[in-house]
Structure 1
Amino acid sequence: MTQVTEQLTRDRGTGALTAHVQGVLHRVRAFDRRRPLLWDALLTGFFVTAALVDANGGWRNIAQNTDVPAHLVLALSLGLSVPLLWRRRHPLPVLAAMAPFALVSNWTGAMLQAALIQHVVVFNIALRLPLRRLGVAAVLLTVPLAVGTVRHPAGSWEQQVISPLWAFALVALLGIAVRTRQEYTASLVERARRLEIERDQQAQLAAAAERTRIAREMHDIIGHNLSVITGLADGGKYAAAKSPERAAQALDAIATTSRQALTELRRLLDVLRDDDLAPAPPPAELAPQPALSDLDQLIDGVRAAGLPVRFTVHGTPDALPPGRQLTVYRVVQEALTNTLKHAGPTATATVDVSYGDGVTVTVTDTGGPAVHGTPAPPGEAGPGRGLTGMRERTALYAGTLEAGPLDPPAGGWRVRLYLPKDTTP
């Protein structure tokens, strides 16, 4: 038990140390992004100081020729360190600018350690430029080394040339590794950004589709019931003077239709309610969506509104999915609603439903052909979404919808819906 506790303590300590190091690196990178010039100046100042300290006399410890003039050593030290300020924007030109100073340093036998600063530039070349530029960098570093070895052959080639080239290879590999990591991180960030954009687009498309669906449902519910109420009110107005009993029946029908419309509208609004923000509503009255079995009730309501409707059914209905039944119901509802609104007081309607290779619904009326499609007069509501909603519903199930005036002399309007059988397993 004690060993487990000690292991957990060590793991927590290691994790805290890793998190601390990552935090420091993150702050350094953030500072570099905010103040790149200041960071370059600080780094260059550090190496210039180190080069000048070495030029003060320490260079003689490894020099092949200790008689090099001090002013030349100072100039070489500055030439090998000051260009570092531009290493990030122009790494290869900076290395080319350092190469003559490294060549003079090795030629004279000073062998300044400031030449090692060139590896910082090599790291930036591997990090920022195409990898083929590393070949040019290798040449720029190798030529001064070879010249110094030939000029002052005090040590072996392995010490004077091969070891610096190994350092060059290690620095180049480090730059490539950091570059690969940065590119991988950038690709993850870009992928996350694209996924976020796609998610927002999908949410917008879903919201638009939902708004369209809600508008279609509200149009079908409210438009139909208001049309029925209008028809009942008109009939009750004419019946009030001659038959008060018929007027009372019309008022009762208006009240019933209004309650049904409110119930359906309340059910739709309950679906849209935000449960996190709105107070808890009372339990909503649950009822299935309208189906083919509800067509009789729909047509009875239209007849009560004053529109004579002949309803015929051909064939035996198969087990249609609820969505297809709702589409048939809404198309019949919208077609009869348009007849109530536009066909005139003397119009009649016919609803034929045929079952076979799918379901075919034909709704015709005897109203004038122009009133169904003409724009509304000024000051009234413009053309509705009835036909658009019917076509949208039909397209969901790969069906067809035809709507238009009948040929004269019969006149009138016809809506024909065809939904193929559902072949989904």
Structure 2
Amino acid sequence: MCDVYEDEGVANDPHPLTRHLQQLTERARAFDRRRPLAWDVLLTGFFVVAAGIDYMGDGWRNIAANTDLPDWLILVLTLGMSVPLLWRRSRPMTVLAVMVGFGAVNSATGALLQVALVQLIVLFNIALRLPLRTLGWAGLLTTAPVVVGSIRFPRGSWDQQVVPQVWAYAIVALLGIAVRSRQDYTRALVERAHQLEVERDQQARLSAAAERTRIAREMHDIIGHNLSVITGLADGGKYAAAKSPERAAQALDAIGSTSRQALAELRRLLDVLREEAPEAAELAPQPALTDLDRLIDGVRAAGLPVRGTFHGHADSMPQGQQLTVYRVVQEALTNTMKHAGAGVTATVDVAYAEDGVTVSVTDTGRAGPRGAPSTDAGAGAGAGRGLTGMRERTALYAGTLEAGPRPHPEQGWQVRLHLPRTSAPLASKEPAQ
């Protein structure tokens, strides 16, 4: 297997000569892109000088059909078929028409100057940049001098004079089309790469925004709940200090324990955000359904009477769903402690069934400050961050959440959650943490 891969690597490696030619071609293209006028002047100057040498050295007489032509006519034809090459980019069809006109005179007089082949460069430029319909007209135009020469000075059969020239024009045109197709393909690849880069950056921004939302939700659940518990314990300890110092000491112990727990959870969350050695961050299991009893005990110790009832068994419910249930119960009890007022009791009811889990958290406090009732998981724009986080977690597992005042004549607030039994969160959502 290794030999095969090595052979493939050698086969795919370009030859040094090929690589050198590619580098030279790229340099020429780069120079052309930077200074197109300078390149055109150099190209035109080269052919003007070459044609001038042919004119001054009388080399043209070696293949001319008529060697008795005046020098001024040869000079005019030489310049007329070479100088227009300077404008081959801006006005290619005009340049070709001028060259073909001088070429027709060149064939008709029998001069047969080789500089007439320069029009192939213009034909290549037309095939490279202009529509194919224009290329067809240009091909017909270039055959005019050939036809004139074959009629004026026939040499053998007409096809021996016309067909080779037509084939030369066709090959140049096909070469221009091939280069054009290659350039279009390269531009398409570059554009596609640019689009992929933009999409990658957008995806990175969306992922970062989703991660910030997840972190904000986790920090809200951790800090908000524990601070509410600490506040309740501190208020209770303040009133108990005068009458029962022992109860005050118990409240202080509970405050210390809750603070350390909150600090530990917050430290674990922040360790994940550190850039250096993220794999070294402490890994601890997220809260699960088995931690609900401890959660209820902590809220009860903070001064809120809570009664918890459980029906059925979790039966290996996925960790993400367990975390969702835990956070919803936590947030519901936190809202009760913050908004329900004094003398309030709460009830947590968790029921496991074959179709999923249903959770109900009710209290007997006032309902007004906590927002309007809603059964839509995407609603609640005017609600607080806590209700929004509960709805986001619920929607992650295609569940339903109802949060609002209890029906008349009952008093208080109710949060009802139902999560269907599933093994994974929705693919369109971020994974639960």
CA shift, 1:156, in A, is 4.0
Residue 310 (structure 1) aligned with residue 311 (structure 2): no
Counterpart mapping for 1:97-112 below 5 A: 97-112=98-113
3-state SS in 1 of match to 2:370: coil
The one-letter amino acid of 1:44's match is T
Tell me the equivalent position of 1:370. 368
Q: Give distance in 1, aligned partners of 2:157 and 2:74.
A: 25
Counterpart mapping for 1:350-369 below 5 A: 350-356=347-353, 357-369=355-367
Q: Give distance in 2, aligned partners of 1:319 and 1:90.
A: 77
The one-letter amino acid of 1:55's match is Y
Q: 1:34-92 deviations in whole A, cap 9, x for unaligned?
A: 10111111111111222222222222211111222222221121111111112123322
Residue 328 (structure 1) aligned with residue 329 (structure 2): no
CA shift, 1:406, in A, is 2.2
The one-letter amino acid of 1:199's match is R
Query: CA-atom RMSD, angstroms?
Result: 2.3
Residue range with higher mean Cα deviation, 326-335 or 51-60? 51-60
Q: 1:79-122 deviations in whole A, cap 9, x for unaligned?
A: 11111112123322221221111111111111111110010011
Contact 2:240/2:247 (8 A) holds in 1:
yes
The one-letter amino acid of 1:19's match is R
TM-score (norm 2): 0.88
Contact 2:312/2:352 (8 A) holds in 1:
yes
CA, structure 1 residues 14+128, in 2 after alignment: closer, same or farther (shift >3 Å)?
closer
Residue 232 (structure 1) aligned with residue 214 (structure 2): no
Alignment partner of 1:345 out of 337, 342, 349: 342
**Count of equivalent residues:** 405
Q: 1:319-359 deviations in whole A, cap 9, x for unaligned?
A: 21000000000000000001111111211111111122211
Tell me the equivalent position of 2:52. 52
Counterpart mapping for 1:11-410 below 5 A: 15-56=15-56, 57-275=58-276, 284=282, 286-356=283-353, 357-373=355-371, 384-410=384-410
Residue range with higher mean Cα deviation, 359-368 or 133-142? 133-142
Q: Give distance in 2, aligned partners of 1:157 and 1:112.
A: 20
Q: Give distance in 1, aligned partners of 2:365 and 2:48.
A: 97
Tell me the equivalent position of 1:4. none
The one-letter amino acid of 2:76's match is A
Contact 2:155/2:161 (8 A) holds in 1:
no
Q: Give distance in 1, aligned partners of 2:84 and 2:396.
A: 69
CA shift, 1:383, in A, is 6.6
Q: Give distance in 2, aligned partners of 1:15 and 1:25.
A: 15
Q: Give distance in 1, aligned partners of 2:15 and 2:237.
A: 83
Contact 2:308/2:349 (8 A) holds in 1:
yes
Tell me the equivalent position of 1:411. 411
Residue range with higher mean Cα deviation, 357-366 or 160-169? 160-169
Gaps of 5+ in 2: 1-9, 373-381, 425-433
Residue range with higher mean Cα deviation, 213-222 or 154-163? 154-163
Q: Give distance in 2, aligned partners of 1:337 and 1:148.
A: 100
Residue range with higher mean Cα deviation, 35-44 or 85-94? 85-94
The one-letter amino acid of 2:309's match is T
Tell me the equivalent position of 2:431. none
Q: 1:164-198 deviations in whole A, cap 9, x for unaligned?
A: 11211221122122112212211211111111111
3-state SS in 2 of match to 1:345: coil
Residue range with higher mean Cα deviation, 213-222 or 186-195? 186-195
CA shift, 1:423, in A, is 6.1
3-state SS in 2 of match to 1:132: helix
Q: Give distance in 1, aligned partners of 2:14 and 2:269.
A: 57
Q: Give distance in 2, aligned partners of 1:339 and 1:370.
A: 12
Residue range with higher mean Cα deviation, 37-46 or 415-424? 415-424
Q: Give distance in 1, aligned partners of 2:75 and 2:160.
A: 25
TM-score (norm 1): 0.90
